[in-house]
A = this chain, B = another copy of it.
Amino acid sequence: MMSTRLIIILQLIVSSLLAQSNDEGMIRKIYDEALARGQSYEMLEHLCTKIGARLSGSPGAAAAVEWSRQVMQAYGFDSVWLQPVMVPHWVRGNKEIGRVVNSKKAGSMEMSVAALGGSVGTGPGGVLANLVEVKSWDELKTLGEKGVKGKIVFFNRPMDPKLLQMFASYGGAVDQRANGASEAAKYGAVGVIVRSMSANLEDYPHTGSLRYAPNIPKIPALAISTRHAELLSGLLSDDKDLRFYMEMNCQTLPDAPSFNVIGELRGTKYPKEIIVVGGHLDSWDLGQGAHDDGAGCVQSIEVLRIFKAMGYKPQRTIRAVMFMNEENGLRGGIEYANQAKLKNELHIAAMESDRGGFTPRGYTLPADARAKEKIRSWKPLLEPYGLHDFSQEGGGADISPLAPQGVPLMGYLPDSQRYFSFHHTPADNFDTVDKRELELGAASMAALIYLIDQYGLK
């Protein structure tokens, strides 16, 4: 006769095996729903081609807010609401000019440029000045006021193509875009040109935010396409007296009203425990914001839609959040965290998708060791879907303000190779998104959210 202890052990083993096989089945159903009847691609097509660019404060952003509210309402989520937030309102104005004026070899030549987000304009008279090229902060410092004053500084350090993870490569170059204007202005520069953030040679510029340091004159800043950065560098090395003309019509208007858009499935067992899945609804103004971050938004809505379509009733409350203003202020993310704190909400996990609609690689994991360990224990369930990378930490910009509340933050991690071909450019359009890749991303997010809903992260 079996001992009671043995029976209990066997029961535990059997129930654990059953749970695992049930989880396998549920995850398979999630992917089936996403791949055979998925709606993320159709949603993204609408957002990109009917609404398009949606920089914070723009009519496009307002349209995107109302559209995503209606979409989630139509899917019948338990609650859908708008969370008000005031956002910065920067406008590009008429297309900027970047022109080589007197090159021996190229004569006068228009360059492919775009104002960096948040830049001041030049005024109608523009800025005409000599150029000086630098690839490092040390070079800038060495040049000093003597070498920089009255000139335009051309920051031309490329992204390192040898790095495997393109976000690491981006991280090694984006300081030029973020800080170049103020660093150059310290030495009396009158403007800056920044090589676009891409490892490839392209014909279009990449915009993106700059940060003006306090108490330093604000000077205008242009991004230049990588191909023209190479060209300009060559012309300049032939001809030190090269002069460059910048004309930019951008300006910062008063803050504008906007919203985070939130949809929710209420938990059946632990309704007060909230799991957030989100992306950011705003985009830069040059393209349609397809990968950055229309993809993350429609994938987040799709997670909830998949659960509803499967008839899955989550134990915890699951929220899809379309954050506003990630690109130039993070006001939406900050306000979401503020409100969560004010209302004493308990967030047990937050996941962001803001790395494009590409084929799955894995997830970025919470810093908390226990949560990390728990997610890694689910790897056997997720690896069959191409999710093998559980090595990196991190969440995403929009959910980062939840960190002080102790919320475990994580991210969906797609393949990074193509992201910086589109990021912040006129090419970030719907036609660069593959349907299956987008759907696999939504399913991969839903699969991990499902496991967190079932087992928590404690």
Chain A residues with a Cβ under 8 A of chain B = 31-32, 35-36, 161-162, 164, 166, 199-200, 359, 361, 384-386, 388, 415, 417-418, 421, 434-437, 440
Contact = CB atoms under 8 A, between A and B. Distances in A.
19 contacts: A31-B162, A35-B161, A35-B162, A36-B161, A164-B384, A164-B385, A164-B386, A200-B435, A200-B436, A359-B359, A359-B415, A386-B415, A388-B388, A415-B415, A417-B434, A417-B440, A418-B434, A418-B437, A421-B434
Contacts of A35: 161-162
Given A361-B386, A388-B388, A417-B436, 11 more contacts: A31-B164, A35-B161, A36-B161, A161-B436, A199-B436, A359-B359, A359-B415, A359-B417, A386-B415, A417-B437, A418-B436
Contacts of A440: 417
Contacts of A437: 417-418
Nearest to A199: B436
Nearest to A33: B162
Contacts of A384: 164
A192 B1 CA distance: 68
Chain copies in complex = 2
A162 B436 CA distance: 10
A447 to B, nearest CB: 12
A434 B388 CA distance: 22
Contacts of A418: 434, 436-437
A31 B421 CA distance: 20
A418 B435 CA distance: 9
A289 to B, nearest CB: 20
Nearest to A35: B161
A388 B199 CA distance: 24
Closest 6 CB pairs of A and B: A388-B388, A417-B436, A35-B161, A359-B415, A32-B162, A418-B434
A32 B163 CA distance: 8
A47 to B, nearest CB: 19
A447 B388 CA distance: 20
A386 B36 CA distance: 27
A414 to B, nearest CB: 10
Contacts of A385: 164
A107 to B, nearest CB: 28
Nearest to A418: B434
A434 B199 CA distance: 12
A90 to B, nearest CB: 31
Contacts of A388: 388
A161 B32 CA distance: 8
Contacts of A417: 359, 434, 436-437, 440
Contacts of A421: 434
A49 to B, nearest CB: 16
A418 B414 CA distance: 14
A435 B161 CA distance: 11
Contacts of A435: 200
Contacts of A36: 161-162
Contacts of A434: 417-418, 421
Nearest to A37: B161
Nearest to A166: B436
> Which of A384, A385, A435 has its CB near the most chain B CB atoms (within 10 A)?
A435
A164 to B, nearest CB: 6
A34 to B, nearest CB: 9
A421 B431 CA distance: 12
Nearest to A201: B435
